[in-house]
C-alpha cells in the first residue's frame, strides 16, 4: 500500500473532508468522474457508519494492488471497534456495490477501486502525490482549525519532552543547579543539590535558598544575598559551604543569573554551584611549591570549560523563557483573528448569506472559541508545576465556594443547578488555585448532565479514614482533609479512571459536551502542588463523586 494522505475522523464535519479527499485522490489516479463519485460515496457511507460506533477512527487514502494484481485506488478506515460491526449492515452492503472490493478485517475496512489499465504507478508519482496532498489548502475553515489544534497538541508534547530531557540533563551534570524566585523560594533543584543538602526534592522545594546558604556558610549573610537580588544583575562569588554531615567545608563558585520575560521583568533566578574545592587546595599548595604550576594551569582550563558550560545553560534558560512568552501571546493571535473576521462577516453580510452559509460561519466561530479555550487552558496548565512552592493560608470553604458560584453564575443560572454545602469547614491551601480547582469540578458537574435533568451538586468536608488514606497512598501519620464533590450527572465507566485526568482525553464527542479535555488535568496538577491526591468514584448514569485529599496542616 502507498498512502497518499490520512487524517482522523472526529465528527460529522470530517465526512465532508473524507468525501472531498476521496474525490481528489481518485482524480489524481486517473479515475473518471462517475467512478470518482461512486468511490467517494462508498467511503462516506463507511465513515458515517464508523463515526456512529467507533472509538477513535482514522482514514487512509492511496494506491495498492488488487487481488487480481491490478493497480487500485484504496481507502482504509481503521478503528478498534470495527469487530463489533455487522458485515451485512445496509451501509456496508451499499458501499460494497459502489467499489471493486470491500474487505472487513479485524481493525479496518478497506475499499478498493481498480484504476484504468493505462494508469501506471511509479515511485515518482507516489512521492509527488504525497507532497501534493500535504500542501493542499484546507477544504473548510473547520479543517484549518483542526489542523491548528493538532499542531498545538504536538507542540505541547514536544514541550513536555523538552522539560523531561532538561531534567535528565541537569541531573547528569557534575554541579548543583537550581532556580529560585525573587523571595528565594526554590522552584527547581537537580540531584546534585538534593544529594549535597541531604534532603529530598520535596524538602528542598519547601526550603528558602537565602536561609539555606546562610545556614551552611558562616561568612555569607542573608541580607547581602537579598541586596544582590534587588540589583537585578547577574553575579558570581566564591563561597564555602559545609557538607550534609555539617563537618567538612567545601569551596564552590556560585553563579546567579536573572531570567527575564519580554517586558524585561525578572521571572526567576537561575543558579549554579560548581565545586572549586580542589582548585582552592591547589592554590594553597602553589603558594608553598612552585612545581605545582602545571596543575594550576590544568585547573584553569577546567574552570574555563565550566564557564562555557554555564554560559550555554544560561542561554538555554533564556530560550525557554522566550518560548513560554511566545506561546502565551502569539499562539492566540490566529484564533482571535478568525473570531474577529468571522464576526465582521456575520455583521456585514449576514443578509446576503443563505442559512447554510450562516450555519458554517457559526461553526467557524465555535471552533475558534474552542481553540482559544484550549490555548488558554494549556497555558494555565503549563504555569502550574507540581514542584512549585505555593503559599498556603487557612480558607473558609463556604466563602471559597461562594466565590466559585459567582464565577459560574451564568452556567448555573441557565441550567437551574443547585450547589449545596452539606458540611463546611476550614481548609489549608492557596486560595487562587483552590478556586480554579473547584471551579473546574463544579463546572463539569453542571455540564455533564442528562438532558431534562436539573444538576445537583453536593459538597462535603470530612476527615478521611485510615483505609482511605492507604488506598490513596497517603501517610496515615499526617493530618488530612477530604473534600467530596458529588453530582447527579451522566457518570462514566470506571474503566476510564486512568484516562480522565490525562491531557486532551475526552469520553464524549465535542458536539455532545463542549470542552478542551484539559480541566481535570489542571485539577490533578493543582492537588499535586498541594502535595495531595484526587480520586473519583462513578457509574454510568449514576453520577460521580470526586474526592480531594489535602494536608490539614
For residue 358, tell me if it sits in a domain. yes
What mean pLDDT comes out for the span 3-14?
Answer: 85
How confident is the model at residue 146, as a pLDDT?
66
Give one DSSP letter per residue of 305-368, joined into a string. HHHHHHHHHHHHHHHHHHHHHHHHHTTHHHHHHHHHHHHHHHHHHGGGS-HHHHHHHHHHHHHH
Q: Do 418 and 537 reside in the same domain of the chain?
A: yes
Q: Do 459 and 477 reside in the same domain of the chain?
A: yes
Q: Do 114 and 86 reside in the same domain of the chain?
A: yes
Which pLDDT band holds residue 318 (cuts at 50, 70, 90)?
low
Structure confidence by residue, pLDDT tens digits, 242-293? 888 878 888 888 999 999 887 888 889 999 898 888 888 877 777 767 666 7
Give the integer Cα–Cα distance in Å for 259 and 178.
12
Q: Do 72 and 191 reside in the same domain of the chain?
A: no
DSSP state of 137: P
Q: Which of 349-358, 359-368, 494-503, 536-545 has the highest mean pLDDT?
A: 536-545
pTM for this one?
0.38
Give the integer Cα–Cα distance in Å for 39 and 28.
13
Q: What is the mean pLDDT of the chain?
A: 82
Domain boundary among 339, 370, 401: 370
For residue 244, tell me if it sits in a domain. yes
Q: Do 118 and 71 reside in the same domain of the chain?
A: yes
How confident is the model at residue 518, as a pLDDT?
72
Strand-strand pairing, 235-242 and 249-260: antiparallel
How confident is the model at residue 11, as a pLDDT?
81
Give one DSSP letter per residue of 82-98, joined into a string. GGGS-TT-HHHHHHHHH
Place of cell 541580607: 223
Which pLDDT band holds residue 460 (cuts at 50, 70, 90)?
very high
Q: Do 229 and 328 reside in the same domain of the chain?
A: no
DSSP state of 465: P
For residue 161, tell me if it sits in a domain. no
Q: Do 207 and 311 reside in the same domain of the chain?
A: no
Q: Do 121 and 268 reside in the same domain of the chain?
A: no
How confident is the model at residue 464, as a pLDDT?
92
Over 90: is that where the pLDDT of 485 sits?
yes
Q: Which of 6-20, 378-392, 490-504 has the highest mean pLDDT?
A: 6-20
Q: Which three-class secondary structure state does DSSP give residue 187?
A: strand
Structure confidence by residue, pLDDT tens digits, 93-118? 999 899 989 999 888 999 999 888 87
For residue 381, tell me if it sits in a domain. no
The b-or-e profile of 300-333 (16+ CB within 10 A means b, else e) is eeeeeebeeebeebbeebeebbeebeebbeebee
Look at the chain and report how many structural domains it folds into. Answer: 4
What mean pLDDT comes out for the span 165-170?
Answer: 64
Percent of the chain with pLDDT strictly greater than 90: 18
Question: 385: closest CA among 177, 188, 169?
Answer: 188
Over 70: is that where the pLDDT of 69 sits?
yes
Least confident of 10-24, 123-137, 292-306, 404-418: 292-306
What mean pLDDT comes out for the span 481-506?
Answer: 79
Q: Do 527 and 391 reside in the same domain of the chain?
A: yes
Give the integer Cα–Cα distance in Å for 274 and 307.
10
How confident is the model at residue 73, as a pLDDT?
92
DSSP state of 455: -
Q: Work out the burial of residue 77: count CB atoms within 10 Å of its CB; fewer than 13 is exposed, 13-18 middle, 19 or more buried.
A: buried
Q: Work out the burial of residue 553: count CB atoms within 10 Å of its CB; fewer than 13 is exposed, 13-18 middle, 19 or more buried.
A: exposed
Least confident of 205-209, 247-251, 377-381, 390-394: 377-381
For residue 38, tell me if it sits in a domain. yes
Q: Do 406 and 333 reside in the same domain of the chain?
A: no
Domain boundary among 275, 303, 320: 275
Over 80: is that where the pLDDT of 551 sits?
yes
How confident is the model at residue 345, as a pLDDT?
82
More reliable by pLDDT, 9 or 325: 9
Which pLDDT band holds residue 41 (cuts at 50, 70, 90)?
very high
Residue 113 CB neighbour total at 10 angstroms: 23
Over 90: is that where the pLDDT of 307 sits?
no
How confident is the model at residue 63, as a pLDDT?
92
Which pLDDT band holds residue 386 (cuts at 50, 70, 90)?
very low
Domain range for 198: 173-275
More reliable by pLDDT, 134 or 467: 467
Domain containing 252 — which CATH number?
A: 3.30.450.20
Over 70: is that where the pLDDT of 506 sits?
no
More reliable by pLDDT, 140 or 211: 211
How confident is the model at residue 308, as a pLDDT?
85
For residue 100, tell me if it sits in a domain. yes
Question: 99: closest CA among 72, 77, 117?
Answer: 72
Q: Do 444 and 351 reside in the same domain of the chain?
A: no
Domain containing 397 — which CATH number?
A: 3.30.565.10
For residue 43, tell me if it sits in a domain. yes
Domain boundary among 370, 405, 422: 370
Q: Do 429 and 521 reside in the same domain of the chain?
A: yes
For residue 535, tell me if it sits in a domain. yes
How confident is the model at residue 326, as a pLDDT?
59
Over 70: is that where the pLDDT of 181 sits?
yes
Percent of the chain with pLDDT strictly greater than 70: 84
How confident is the model at residue 56, as a pLDDT?
84
Over 50: is that where the pLDDT of 190 sits?
yes
Amino acid at each position: 500500500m502507498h498512502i497518499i494522505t490520512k487524517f482522523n475522523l472526529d465528527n460529522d464535519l470530517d465526512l465532508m473532508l473524507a468525501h472531498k479527499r476521496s474525490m481528489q485522490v481518485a482524480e489524481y489516479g486517473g479515475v473518471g468522474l462517475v467512478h470518482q463519485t461512486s468511490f467517494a460515496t462508498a467511503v462516506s457511507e463507511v465513515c458515517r457508519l464508523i463515526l456512529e460506533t467507533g472509538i477513535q477512527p482514522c482514514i487512509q487514502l492511496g494506491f495498492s494492488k488488487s487481488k487480481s494484481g491490478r493497480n487500485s485506488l484504496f481507502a482504509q478506515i481503521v478503528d478498534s471497534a470495527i469487530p463489533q460491526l455487522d458485515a451485512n449492515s445496509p451501509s456496508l452492503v451499499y458501499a460494497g456495490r459502489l467499489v471493486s472490493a470491500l474487505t472487513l478485517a479485524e481493525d479496518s475496512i478497506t475499499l478498493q477501486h481498480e484504476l484504468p489499465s493505462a494508469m501506471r504507478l511509479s515511485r515518482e508519482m507516489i512521492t509527488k502525490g504525497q507532497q501534493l496532498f500535504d500542501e493542499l489548502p484546507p477544504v473548510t475553515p473547520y479543517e484549518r482549525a483542526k489542523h491548528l489544534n493538532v499542531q498545538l497538541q504536538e507542540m505541547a508534547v514536544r514541550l513536555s519532552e523538552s522539560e523531561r530531557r532538561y531534567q535528565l540533563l541537569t541531573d547528569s551534570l557534575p554541579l548543583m543547579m537550581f532556580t529560585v524566585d525573587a523571595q528565594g523560594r526554590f522552584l527547581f533543584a537537580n540531584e546534585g543539590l538534593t544529594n549535597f543538602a541531604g534532603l529530598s526534592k520535596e524538602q528542598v522545594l519547601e526550603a528558602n535558598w537565602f536561609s539555606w546558604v546562610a545556614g551552611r556558610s558562616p561568612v555569607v549573610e542573608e541580607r547581602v544575598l537579598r541586596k544582590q537580588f534587588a540589583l537585578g544583575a547577574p553575579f558570581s562569588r566564591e563561597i564555602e559551604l559545609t557538607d550534609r554531615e555539617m563537618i567538612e567545608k567545601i569551596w564552590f563558585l556560585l553563579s546567579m543569573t536573572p531570567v527575564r520575560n519580554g517586558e524585561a521583568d525578572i521571572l526567576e533566578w537561575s543558579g549554579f554551584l560548581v565545586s572549586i574545592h580542589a582548585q582552592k587546595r591547589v592554590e594553597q599548595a602553589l603558594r608553598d611549591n612552585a612545581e605545582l604550576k602545571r596543575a594550576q594551569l590544568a585547573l584553569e582550563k577546567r574552570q574555563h570549560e565550566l564557564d562555557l558550560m554555564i554560559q550555554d545553560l544560561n542561554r538555554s534558560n533564556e530560550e525557554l523563557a522566550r518560548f513560554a512568552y511566545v506561546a502565551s501571546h502569539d499562539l492566540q493571535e490566529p484564533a482571535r483573528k478568525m473570531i474577529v473576521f468571522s464576526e465582521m462577516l456575520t455583521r456585514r453580510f449576514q443578509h446576503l448569506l443563505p442559512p447554510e452559509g450562516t450555519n458554517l460561519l457559526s461553526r467557524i466561530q465555535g471552533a475558534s472559541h474552542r481553540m482559544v479555550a484550549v490555548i488558554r487552558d494549556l497555558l494555565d496548565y503549563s504555569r502550574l508545576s507540581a514542584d512549585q512552592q505555593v503559599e498556603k493560608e487557612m480558607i473558609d470553604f463556604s466563602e471559597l465556594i461562594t466565590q466559585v458560584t459567582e464565577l459560574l453564575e451564568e452556567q448555573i443560572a441557565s441550567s437551574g443547578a443547585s450547589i449545596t454545602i452539606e458540611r463546611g469547614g476550614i481548609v489549608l491551601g492557596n486560595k487562587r488555585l483552590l478556586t480554579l480547582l473547584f471551579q473546574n469540578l463544579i463546572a463539569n458537574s453542571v455540564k455533564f448532565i442528562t438532558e431534562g435533568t436539573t444538576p445537583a451538586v453536593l459538597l462535603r468536608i470530612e476527615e478521611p479514614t485510615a483505609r482511605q488514606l492507604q488506598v490513596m497512598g497517603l501517610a496515615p501519620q499526617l493530618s488530612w482533609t477530604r473534600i467530596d464533590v458529588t453530582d447527579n450527572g451522566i457518570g462514566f465507566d470506571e474503566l476510564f479512571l486512568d484516562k480522565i485526568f490525562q491531557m486532551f482525553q475526552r469520553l464524549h464527542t465535542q458536539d455532545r459536551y463542549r470542552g478542551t479535555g484539559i480541566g481535570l488535568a489542571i485539577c490533578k496538577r493543582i492537588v499535586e502542588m498541594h502535595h495531595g491526591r484526587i480520586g473519583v468514584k462513578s457509574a454510568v448514569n449514576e453520577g460521580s463523586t470526586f474526592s480531594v485529599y489535602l494536608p490539614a496542616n
